[in-house]
Structure formats: structure tokens, C-alpha cells
Chains A and B, each alone.
Chain A
Amino acid sequence: MNCSLDLIEAYMDEELDPGPSGSVEDHLLSCQACSEAYLRFRTQKANIRAAAPYYTASAQLERSVRNASRQATANEPKPVASSPPWRWLAIAATVLLAVSVSWNMRPSPRRTVENDLVAENILSDHIRSLIGTHLLDVPSSNQHTVKPWFNGKLDFSPDVKDFTSQGFPLIGGRLDYLMDRPVAALVYGRRQHVINVFTWPADPTPMAESRYSRNGYNAIHWSNGSMTFWAVSDIALTELAQFKGLYEK
């Protein structure tokens, strides 16, 4: 290998694949000029990090940024004449109440009392995730970031897939608690809607899907023999079924 400062910098920036990275290492061991250049680069990097300030946003800036987007939302034209912010909370509270009273029963061969109970919990959880401040623990569209994040937090490793190209981008994940156990919640987007997928290990018997609808929210439940899945959102049931189809591939 010839001396190449570009390669040495790329090596230092950890931008090289293992192969080229190895040959740079070999070269550094045998070439004094390059190893000196490498050390100079390293020192400079360390100096920059130690001496150049990393500026952080003030609490006031954070407040005004938040306010600005809220203001912009409030000023958006709406078909409803006036909608003060509390109205959405009132609606959500009504939904929660309605859900806690009863989950709409539609006959389906796979429905069981137990699943209806899970469905109730899932829907409440979905709504809570949207009105609370805790939608994401790990905001990332990268499945290779989201999946390892669950390591050590769960006694299983959830299957994380991204469907950005099909219009259901992965947004992130969070740890959730359902039916007395910790579960993985994977969050996907669909236009401006949010889909929560709850998953945990299931009985080894594969199960056909069952569908639930209530107050404009839809849920699909299925199981693949090792894991059970619940997808819930306010998108149309047909779209949710399409999403489930992608998930099963």
C-alpha cells in the first residue's frame, strides 16, 4: 500500500470497511511518515473535542421552538370553526372512557374473552402513547438501531422491519408493559398516522388473524407460532391489513 493521507483520515473517521481498514493498519505499522501523520490527526481530533465548545440550546429556545410549532398547528385552517386545544383532550378522554366500558364485539371465529381483554388494553395503550409524552424510547428509522436497543430490556428479541419504501416507515420503538409482562412496542408511521405494533413470545400454536374496531381505531391480532403481534392504529382496517401483510413476509 502507498502512503495516502485520505485513506488515513477515512480510517481515523471509522469510515473504512474491515478489509481496507486492515490494510491501513498494516501500513501504519510499517511506515513511519504515515504513522506520524495518523498521530497528528488523532491529536487534532482530541484537541477539537476538548477545546471547541459544543453549544447547547437554552431552555428558552426550546420553549419558543415548541410554541412555534403549536402556534402553527393552531393557526392551520380547519373545517371545524373553532377548536381550542382542550377539545382534543376531551375527545381523547371520552374515547378512553368508552373503551374502558366496552370493546365493540364483532363475531369472529378466533375471538376469545381473553383476547378481547388484551384488545382493550392494547387500544388504551395506543391512545396513551399518543396523548402522553412517551411514544418513543428509541427514535430511529434504522431497524439495526431499534432491534439491539431491546437487548437486555426484554427476555426476547423482537423482529424489527422497516417498510419505508412501502409507505410505512419505521419511526422507533419503546418498552411497554401489557398483560403483566414487558413487551416491545414498535412504532410505524403512515402519512401522519401512527401505528403501534406490540409483540411478545406466544404459544407455539400459530393463529389466524382476528380484527377489532372501536371508535375509529382498528387492531389486527395474529401469531406466527413463536411470537404474537398486535397492530393498532386509526388508519383504515384495509390499510392495517396491508401493513400486516408486509410484516408477515
Chain B
Amino acid sequence: MKNSVTSAESRQRLFEELMLPHLNAAYNLARWLTRNEDDAQDAVQEAYLRAFRFFDGYRGGDGKSWLLEIVRNTCFTFHRREKRNVMSVVFDEASHTPAVSPPNAEEALVKASKRSIMQNCIEGLPDAFREVLVMRELEEMSYQQIADVAGLPVGTVMSRLSRARKRLEECAKGRDMESDK
């Protein structure tokens, strides 16, 4: 009566139950790490497939950290592959600002420009700083969780986070002045 059909099915159900709730976190991290939509989608799909393959090795514990570690590693593998293909993307101001202004006047415009300043500044951070900042400020993860995902000591997480904040502050200040001119 009981056979491998039921266990494969329940394994898959368990996987969906435990890992799909973190899909947005996975996509958000991938989107910030790859800095573009298509790569992020590919990376998340690939990461979920890998996670499913490694699922037997998941021994309970923090599912979000477990999944994000795979997402992060997948993104960096993608990234390296891309670099080898000499696909270096030139920073293009036009593609990073909304093409069409929102209909609702000045306030929306200011908001959008603030948003794109912050977005550009975070995207401009080196990978090592960007990932800890995104996990801390957008995913609201603890130092320990970030350390688990990035495979770093907690002390290194703290110092990278601190340097990321410093750089971000300088960048945002510079851009703000530019836009005030």
C-alpha cells in the first residue's frame, strides 16, 4: 500500500509547504544581486530546483536562511558565468530611471527620483556590501542569519554592513546634491 509514490509526493508537498513561502525573499535577494529581472527569474528557478534536489539534506531549522544560501550561491555562479562571457553592462542612466513620468505631478516625481537615487546607490555597492545590506534592511534578517547565508563570521557581517552604510550615505548625499542643482 505504501510505496515510493506516496513518499515522493509527500516530499514534494513538504518542499512546497516549507520553501514556497520564501519565494518573495528569494526573488528580492536575487533581483538585488543580479540587478536585472531576467537573471533574477532564472536564478530563482535554478535555485529552487537545486533546493529541491538538496532537500533531503535539509534538517529542519531556519528554512529561509537555508533557501537564501542556495539563491545567493546560484546568483554568484550566474554572475561569474556572465563575466566570463564579457557581458559587462555599462551603467546606463536612462534605463535606471522611469521612462514615463507618473501622471501625479511633482510629489510623485520627487519620490521616484529619491527612489531611483537609493536604488542606484545600492546597486552600485560591491556585491559583498550589497548582499549584507539587502538582507539586513529589506529582508530584516538577523546578523546570525546573514552570516549563515553568506558563509561569513558574524563579525565580518557587522563590519561589511557598517561599511555598506557608510558608502551608501556618501553616495546618496552626492546624488542628492546633483539632483538639487
Contacts and interface: CB of A to CB of B under 8 A. Distances in A.
Interface of A: 5-6, 9-10, 13, 15, 40-41, 44-45, 47-58, 61-62, 64-66, 68-70, 72-73, 76, 78-80, 83, 85, 87-88, 91, 95, 130, 135-136, 139, 141, 162, 164, 169-171, 189, 192-194, 215-216, 234
B79 interface: no
Q: Which 7 A-B pairs have the closest CB atoms?
A: A169-B60, A51-B118, A57-B27, A55-B31, A216-B2, A73-B12, A192-B11
Contacts of B143: 10, 13, 15
B117 interface: yes
Given A72-B53, A171-B14, A194-B10, 17 more contacts: A6-B159, A10-B158, A50-B114, A51-B119, A53-B115, A54-B24, A56-B24, A61-B23, A62-B23, A65-B20, A65-B23, A69-B48, A88-B5, A141-B61, A189-B60, A192-B10, A194-B14
Dominant secondary structure at the B interface: helix
A193 B56 CA distance: 11
B62 interface: yes
A9 B161 contact: yes
A29 B4 CA distance: 64
Interface in B1-46: 1-18, 20-21, 23-24, 26-28, 31-32, 40-41, 44-45
B123 to A, nearest CB: 10
B6 A57 contact: no
B141 to A, nearest CB: 10
Interface residues of B, number: 61
B101 interface: no
Interface of B: 1-18, 20-21, 23-24, 26-28, 31-32, 40-41, 44-45, 48-49, 52-53, 56, 59-63, 114-115, 117-119, 122, 133, 136-138, 142-143, 158-159, 161-162, 165, 168-169, 172
A15 B142 contact: yes
Contacts of B60: 141, 162, 164, 169-171, 189
B10 A45 contact: no
B81 to A, nearest CB: 20
Nearest to B118: A51
A69 B59 contact: no
B12 A70 contact: yes
Contacts of B133: 48
A68 B48 contact: yes
Contacts of A79: 3-4
B4 A65 contact: no
Contacts of A85: 9
14 contacts: A48-B138, A61-B23, A68-B48, A69-B48, A72-B52, A72-B53, A73-B9, A78-B4, A135-B13, A135-B14, A164-B60, A194-B10, A215-B1, A216-B2
B12 A40 contact: no
B168 A44 contact: yes
B179 to A, nearest CB: 13
A47 B40 contact: no
A139 B23 contact: no
A189 B41 contact: no
Contacts of B10: 130, 192-194
A40 B168 CA distance: 12
Given A6-B158, A73-B9, A192-B10, A62 B20 contact: yes
Contacts of B32: 55
